[in-house]
Amino acid sequence: MNENKRGFHIDMKLAQVYIPMQLYGETFEIKQALRYGTLFPELYRPFPPQNTME
Amino acid sequence: MPNQNASMIEKLKEIMAVDFAVWELSLFLDTHPEERKALEDHNKFVRISYQLKSEFESNYGPLRLDCISPFPYKYINSPWPWEIEY
């Protein structure tokens, strides 16, 4: 594997990302949103995964 | 802390929740400016936010430095953020 001085692998493409467009749907009740850190249920992903959605 | 009581804290929490919703919807609308329902919800919460803040300020004093104050200057009477027990 060739590497340049900065340590990048020059023969390989770096990763490509994709970000699907978010759609507007259900939202959390606003006090719950403040607790969860997001208004959007589809973005609520606590780490480590917990089953705290009521 | 003369101004601190349970109903003041409840009002503050409501304002924080509403402002958080405004913030979240603003971010969503940055990338979805033509999403009508999101804009309606955004505007609804903005109106509620103005309403709650104006009620809060007439009951408990200024929330922010850009509030108009009666004489004598009221801002100094409010508890500091770290003095409020949520």
pLDDT, tens digit only, all 54 positions of chain A: 555 666 667 777 778 888 899 999 999 999 999 999 999 999 998 887 666 655
Q: How far is CA A11 from CA A1, A7, A31, in A?
A: 8, 12, 50
Mutate to test the interface with A, among B11, B13, B18, B24 (most CBs of A within 10 A): B24
Q: Residue B10's closest CA among B56, B67, B61, B45?
A: B56
Helix (H) or strand (E) holding B6: helix B6-31
Q: Is the ipTM of this complex over 0.85?
A: no
DSSP A9: B
Task: Note whether B50 contacts A: Cβ–Cβ < 8 A.
Answer: no
Task: Note whether A24 contacts B: Cβ–Cβ < 8 A.
Answer: yes
Check whether the bond before B72 is cis (ω within 30° of 0).
yes
